[in-house]
Amino acid sequence: MNFFYDILIYNPQELVLSFFIITGLLLSLFNNERLNKFAYLFALFGIITAILSTLSINITTGMGHGNSFTSSNLFSVVSKTLILFSALLIIILSRKIISEYSKKAFEFVTLIFSGVLGACCLVISNDFLTAFVSLEMLSVSGYLLVGFTKTQRAKEASIKYLIQSCFASALLLFGVSYIYGLSGSIDFYSVSDFCFSLSPTFFYPALGLLTIMGIMFKLGCVPFTNWIPDIYEGASYPVGAFISLVPKIAGFAFLVRILAFIFPHMPIATLALQIIAVISVIYGVFGAISQTNIKRLWGYSSIIQSGFILCAVSFMTVYSLSSVLFYLGVYIFMNLGVWCASYQFNINTGSDLIADNEGLYKKRPYFSIAYTICLISLAGLPLTAGFLAKIYLFSSIIKSGLEYFSLLFILLLLSLGAIFAYFNVIKNIFVSSSKLLSFPFKYTTADMLLYFCAFLTIVLCLIPNSFIKISQIVSFYIN
C-alpha cells in the first residue's frame, strides 16, 4: 500500500499513462469504427491528463525521495514534462495518420503511450534493472511504430532497428552484469558507494563506458549512428519525429543521472564522451552535406545536435547541465518544426526529396518563412532560440576551462558545415520555380504546429530570461 501511495504522490504521470495504455488496449479490442474515431481525442486527453498530473507533485517536500526502484527529483520531473510535452505535440502531428489507419488507431495511440511511459520510467529509474526494462519498453514500442505503415521500407527499417537496438542493449546488459558482479548491487546509490570505496582500476572505467555505450544507441551517437538515417527514412513522419525526440530526451536525462552517480569516480568519462561527441558531429555533418532525401537529412541533423549536447553533458557542471536542459527544450520546437514542415510537404506532393522543395516560397510564402525560421534555428543563427541555446551550450564548454578552446573551435568549425547543409534546403525553398503551383496545399494539423513551433523559437530567443533561470535552478537538483 505504501509503495502504491509513493508512486501516486511522486510519479503520477506514469500511473496516468499506464491507465490510458490499459484502457486503450481494451478499447482496441472492440475494433468499432465509430469508436476508433475517438482515438485521437482519447490520445490528447490522456497525454494532457498526464501533463496536468505533474502539478499534483509537491515540489517543496517531495523532492529527492525514492524507493529502491525509482527516485524523483526536480530534474527528473522537468525532463518528464519535456517528454510529455513533445509527446503531446507528436500526437497532434499524427492526427492524419490516426484517421488514415482508423482500424488500428487505438493500437497506434497505445504504442506511443507505452513509448512515453518507457521514457518516463527511464528518467526516474534508480537501479539498472528498472532502467533496462524501461529502455526495452521504449525500444519495443519504437520497433512497432516504425513498422506501423507496413510498407517495404518500413518493415526493413523496423527489423534493422530491432537488431541494432538489441546489440546495444546487450552491451549495456554486459556492462551492468559486471558491475553487479563486482559490487553485488544494482542500486545506483550502492554502486556509487562501492565505486567510492574502490581504487580506480583499469577495467572499472571500461565497464562504466560499456554501460554508457548502451545509452549512446538511444542518443544516436558514435558508434551507433548508422541506424538513424535508415530508420528515419523508413518510418512515417510522425514516428520519425517521435524517435528523434522522446528517446533522445530520455536518453540524455538518464545519462546525466548515471553520470551524477558514477562520474565523480570516473574522470576519464569526460574525455571519452567528448571524443564520442566530436566524432558524432563529424559523422553527422559529413553525412548531412551531401544528402538529397529530407528524412535522412533530419537523421543526420539529429546526430549533429546529439553530439553538441553530449559535449556539454560531459562536463557535468551545474552551468553545463542547465545549458543542456535549455537546449533540449529548444530542440523540441526547432526539430519538430522541420518535421512538421516536411510532413506537410510530403502529404501534399508525396515527395521526400530536398530538390522538390523548389518554388515552395512562391506557393506558400508564410509556410516557407516559418519553415525557414526552424531551419535557421537548427543551423544556430539568430534571431532564433537555436542561436541562443547554442551560444549558451558553447559558453558552458569554455566555462569549464580555457583549455577546452580547441574542442570549442572544432565544434564551431563543424557547425559551419551544418549551416551549409541546412541552407541547402533553404536555398531550394526560395528558388523561383512554378513547379509546385499546380499542387493543392491542404491545411492540416502539421501546418498549425509548424507556425506554433516557429513562433516559440522566436519567442524563446527574445524572452529567454525566465527559462534560463528555471534551467539553472533545476540543474542544482541533479542528485
Partner 1 sequence: MLSFQSLIFLIFAPLIASLIILCPLFPSTDTAVRRFSKWFSVCHFLYAITFLLLFQSQNPVLVLEDELKLFSLHWIDTLGISATFSMDSLSLALVLLTTFIFFIAFVMSKRTIKKDFKIYYSLMFLLEMCILGIFCAKDLFIFFLLWELELVPMYFLISKWGSVNAKASAMKFLLYTFFGSIFILLGIFTIYFYSYSISGVLTSNMDMLITDSNLYPPQIIYFAFICFLIGFGVKLPIVPLHTWLADAHSDAPTPVSIVLAAILLKTGAYGLLRFNLSLFPDIFLTLAPALMFFAAVNCIYASSLAVVQKDIKRLIAFSSISQMGIFLIGLFSVNYIGLSGAVFQLISHAIIAAGLFTVAGILYSIYSTRDIDYIHNHLKNSPLFMFVSIPIILAAVGVPLFSGFIAEFLSFVGGMTSDFGITLPKILTSISIFTIVLSSAYILKLFHSCFFGVRDLNFTRDISGHRLNVLIIISVIVLFFGIFPNFLSDIYMPFIDTTVDMLGVQ
Please give the residue ranges that form the binding site for partner 1 (CB under 8 A).
365, 376, 381-383, 387, 391-392, 394-395, 398-399, 402, 405, 408-409, 412-413, 416, 419-420, 423, 427, 430, 432, 462-466, 468-469, 472
CA triple 34-38-41, angle to 5 deg: 170
Q: Could you say which DSSP state residue 1 is in?
A: -
Smallest gap, in angstroms, from Cβ of residue 329 to partner 1? 15
Smallest gap, in angstroms, from Cβ of residue 366 to partner 1? 8
Q: Which amino acid is at 444?
A: T
Instruction: Compute the distance between CA of residue 341 and CA of residue 333 in angstroms, rounded to an integer.
Output: 12
Instruction: Compute the distance between CA of residue 433 and CA of residue 459 in angstroms, rounded to an integer.
Output: 32
Smallest gap, in angstroms, from Cβ of residue 218 to partner 1? 31
C-alpha 51 chain-centroid distance: 17
> What letters, b where the CB count within 10 A reaches 16 and e where it falls short, cover 60-69?
eebbeebeeb
Smallest gap, in angstroms, from Cβ of residue 392 to partner 1? 8
Q: Which is nearer to partner 1, 178 or 430 (CB)?
A: 430
Collapsing DSSP to helix, strand or coil, 62 comes out as coil
Q: Which is nearer to partner 1, 52 or 462 (CB)?
A: 462
Q: Which is nearer to partner 1, 231 or 379 (CB)?
A: 379
Q: Which is nearer to partner 1, 41 or 383 (CB)?
A: 383
Instruction: Compute the distance between CA of residue 351 and CA of residue 427 in angstroms, rounded to an integer.
Output: 17
Smallest gap, in angstroms, from Cβ of residue 282 to partner 1? 16
Q: Which is nearer to partner 1, 154 or 450 (CB)?
A: 450
Q: Which residue has the cell 542493449?
A: 169
Q: Which is nearer to partner 1, 110 or 400 (CB)?
A: 400
Smallest gap, in angstroms, from Cβ of residue 360 to partner 1? 13
Contacts (Cβ under 8 Å, ≥6 apart) of 142:
115, 161, 165, 243, 247
Smallest gap, in angstroms, from Cβ of residue 9 to partner 1? 31
Smallest gap, in angstroms, from Cβ of residue 328 to partner 1? 18
Q: Which is nearer to partner 1, 75 or 227 (CB)?
A: 75
Instruction: Compute the distance between CA of residue 378 and CA of residue 387 in angstroms, rounded to an integer.
Output: 8
Smallest gap, in angstroms, from Cβ of residue 430 to partner 1? 5
Q: Which is nearer to partner 1, 218 or 363 (CB)?
A: 363
CA dihedral 417, 418, 420, 424 (to 10 degrees): 150
Q: Give the residue from 250, 257, 248 showing the smallest Cα distance to 220.
A: 248
Collapsing DSSP to helix, strand or coil, 94 comes out as coil
Cβ(196)–Cβ(265) under 8 Å? yes
Q: Give the residue from 206, 203, 200, 179 showing the smallest Cα distance to 190.
A: 179
Q: Which is nearer to partner 1, 368 or 445 (CB)?
A: 368
